[in-house]
Structure 1
Amino acid sequence: MKSAFAESRPFLMLSLLFGISYFFVNDSNIPGMYLIAWKGAGVGFLAIYALVRLHRIDGKIVGAIMALGAIGDMALEIDMVAGAAAFMLGHVLAILFYSRFRRHKLGFSQKIFAILLVPLAVLIAWALPADRTQAVMIGFYCLSVALMAAMAWTSRFSRYQVGAGAILFLISDLLIFARMGPLETSVIPDLLVWPLYYFGQFMIATGIVRTLRHEMAADSADPVHA
């Protein structure tokens, strides 16, 4: 128990510290590079948490997914295309990861939700930007986020933590696209984009780690807490 605390809590606390505080400092006068690093630290420490808590290939994969998210967070402040590319790589890796952990039985409503989620999200994303020349590119990017969310929702990880976290991530991105259209002058994206994204990532990382740690503990008959 003490070992689990020593290994994981500092990184989770640092993630929460940077992730929550960034919401309050992102419009401050902090020099640009420091603020960019601050932004990336929230999800960056989740990557370290996954690497430390899962001493196997799964930990490296989850750590890489989170690291690509942190890189995307920082890159977006410099170049939108580079940031989007980092996120897309992370989504593709997450889709492949979730495909290894398929839920064997899905309720009818859950199947319908997962099936409809992708086309509906892509259609909404495509319809949002006022500049229609960007619609196809945004729809294509949203496809990767929506597929990631659908795969997380139908995986055997906790639907109320990992699945819900992925849905929060998707909603955050849709709000970013809405800022390019109907919510251009609204404060809603400013208030919700970062909290939904960060806590979505937090829920994903901790949910995956907790599930796999418990499975490892069950296999070894040695209770372990994430």
Structure 2
Amino acid sequence: MSNMALSEKRPILLASMAAALAFFVLRQSPLPELFLVPLKGAACGLLALYAFMRHRGRDAYHLGAIMIVAAFGDIAMEVDRVAGALLFAGYQLGAIALYLRHPREHTATTQKIAAAAMLLLTPAICWLFPFDRSEALPAALYGLTVGGMAACAWLSAFSRYRVGVGAVMFLASDLLIIAGMGPLMGQQWQTWLIWPLYYLGQFLICIGVLDRLQRRL
């Protein structure tokens, strides 16, 4: 893709960033949620549009599709947390499938240990967090999907400094959400960190995947 063609698509990224920032700032305002929910969904929705336009290929379309699922998950979380969690579990499984199609040829033992820790410790931590023990098993099952996503991203051929770090940021945001059901319940700083970690993680995943796909042309 020419530099001119790429520059024509960058405003989509800027619009996504603007929507994410606007949601973060305005959610503390007296504006009704009716106005904020579209902003929240637009952040990842525009990343999906960028994926569809940035690269023509199965993997880019796959990335765009799971970003759309994430956008609907963002919206659903404001209405029904169970529906939102199910949509995000679908996102995680879709992301795992994408990362498994691009395995890293040579992986150091320490990196394998890090991935194993994400896969195994995340559901264990999610199971321990909720004070309401009826929520422990669903939290652990969800933790297995997000831990698996982060582990697969870490071991994939995509850049660890973008896709790997982005997946870990996504994981951290979800751990903060689940910690809010237990030891961090009522902590204001926890709620402030969730959205920036989540969106920056998704942003890094999107540009990291597309950058590698583009360089392979």
- Superposition TM-score tier, normalisation by shorter sequence: over 0.9
SS for the counterpart of 2:127 is helix
Distance 2:164 2:44 in 1: 18
> Paired residue for 1:2?
4
Name structure 1 gaps, 5 residues minimum.
Answer: 217-226
Name structure 2 gaps, 5 residues minimum.
Answer: none
Distance 2:197 2:33 in 1: 23
Distance 1:16 1:109 in 2: 34
1:20 to partner: Cα distance: 1.6
Matched, 1:119 2:120: yes
Q: How does 1:83-122 map to 2 (within 5 A)?
A: 83-122=84-123
Distance 2:31 2:189 in 1: 24
1:215 to partner: Cα distance: 1.1
Matched, 1:51 2:52: yes
SS for the counterpart of 2:156 is coil
Distance 1:199 1:79 in 2: 23
Deviates more, 1:135-144 or 1:32-41: 32-41
> Paired residue for 1:214?
215
1:149 to partner: Cα distance: 0.5
How does the TM-score come out when normalised to structure 2? 0.97
Q: Alignment identity in percent? A: 42
Moved over 6 A (4+): none
1:49 to partner: Cα distance: 0.3
> Paired residue for 2:38?
37
Matched, 1:190 2:191: yes
Aligned residue identity for 1:5: S
Distance 2:60 2:161 in 1: 21
1:106 to partner: Cα distance: 0.4
SS for the counterpart of 2:46 is helix
> Paired residue for 1:154?
155
Distance 1:10 1:184 in 2: 38
Matched, 1:200 2:192: no
Distance 2:47 2:186 in 1: 33
SS for the counterpart of 1:125 is helix
> Paired residue for 2:146?
145
Aligned residue identity for 1:52: M
How does the TM-score come out when normalised to structure 1? 0.93
> Paired residue for 1:165?
166
1:188 to partner: Cα distance: 2.3
1:31 to partner: Cα distance: 2.8
Q: Give per-residue Cα distances to partners, 1:125-149, cap 9 Å, x unaligned.
A: 1111111110000000111111000
1:27 to partner: Cα distance: 2.6
Q: Give per-residue Cα distances to partners, 1:166-209, cap 9 Å, x unaligned.
A: 00000000000111111112122122100000000000001001
1:81 to partner: Cα distance: 1.4
Number of positions where the alignment pairs a residue of Structure 1 with one of Structure 2: 215
